């Protein structure tokens, strides 16, 4: 038996979810949050369970899922990730810090940790009596994505954003759509736990696919073959997608990924 506890950051921390799976023997953490204030709150949540942290999984190579690792996982706590997720974190973490620490200041960690337990698709890990299976996806929402299955549950990272505008700035939306097509069949009947938003069924994969199709179609129309959008075109894109997903948070993500997707389509 196990219980799932969810820690969700405020909007400043991108509303990112970290999942704590509590068993009789300890706690397993899936994804490590972004900003230090949230990471400290997450650490306190773990401490309040009065059980050891047995291991951490990182679903993909974005800082809102790996930034908290140095604070949360001591040297004796194994950190698991797909090979390409670990390699990508090693490659991008310093650049991400240089990009975002001026924006977030002291909230951004001064160091990072690369997952040391590297997994291939289909590999299983047993922690606290729970048997996790890793499924590597490759480039999709990020440069390297994966998801974990446990019984009839799937922890899908950012393969689908549930009720928020997604991050598209890595420019792999075509591959992301291909991944969603495969996942819709693979995860049919499972309860999905996304990196942003509430748990749900595989319908969230179809919703994410519709969003990406609209996003790409609008950028394609506005850019007309150019590898970037003008400021006015970016504003129009934001207006279109805000109407498409009314009331959803993280609207600034819409314009952030526009040029990357325009370049992707142009290529």
In order of 34, 138, 161, 219, the CA distances from 21 in angstroms are 19, 25, 21, 40
Residue with tokens 């179809």: 206
> What tens digit of pLDDT does each residue of 198-249 get?
999 999 999 999 999 999 999 999 999 999 999 999 999 999 999 999 999 9
pTM of the model: 0.97
> What tens digit of pLDDT does each residue of 146-174 get?
999 999 999 999 999 999 999 999 999 99
Q: 118: pLDDT confidence band, cut at 50, 70 and 90?
A: very high
Every domain of the chain and the residues it spans: 1-159, 161-189+201-267
Return the CATH fold of 1-159.
Answer: Metallo-beta-lactamase; Chain A (3.60.15)
* 29 and 130 Cβ atoms separated by less than 8 Å: no
- 138's CB contacts (< 8 A; 6+ apart) are 84, 144, 145, 175, 179
């Amino acid at each position: 038996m196990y219980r799932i506890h969810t820690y969700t950051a405020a909007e400043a921390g991108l509303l990112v979810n970290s999942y704590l799976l509590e068993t009789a023997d300890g706690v397993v953490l899936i994804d490590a949050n972004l900003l230090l204030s949230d990471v400290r709150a997450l650490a306190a949540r773990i401490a309040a369970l009065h059980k050891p942290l047995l291991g951490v999984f990182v679903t993909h190579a974005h800082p809102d899922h790996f930034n908290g690792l140095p604070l949360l996982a001591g040297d004796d706590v194994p950190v698991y990730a797909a090979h390409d997720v670990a390699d990508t974190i090693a490659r991008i973490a310093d650049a991400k810090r240089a990009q975002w620490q001026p924006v977030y200041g002291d909230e951004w960690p001064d160091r990072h940790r690369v997952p040391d337990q590297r997994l291939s698709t289909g590999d299983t890990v047993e922690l606290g009596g729970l048997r996790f299976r890793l499924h590597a996806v490759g480039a999709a929402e990020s440069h390297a994505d994966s998801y974990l299955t446990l019984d009839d549950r799937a922890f899908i990272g950012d393969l689908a954003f549930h009720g928020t505008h997604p991050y598209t700035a890595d420019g792999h939306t075509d591959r992301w759509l291909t991944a969603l097509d495969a996942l819709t069949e693979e995860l049919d009947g499972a309860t999905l736990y996304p990196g942003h938003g509430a748990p749900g069924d595989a319908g969230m994969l179809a919703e994410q696919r519709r969003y990406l199709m609209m996003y790409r179609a609008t950028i394609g129309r506005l850019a007309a073959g150019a590898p970037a959008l003008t400021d006015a075109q970016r504003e129009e894109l934001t207006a279109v997608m805000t109407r498409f997903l009314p009331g959803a948070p993280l609207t600034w993500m819409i314009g952030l990924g526009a040029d990357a997707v325009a370049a992707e389509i142009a290529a």
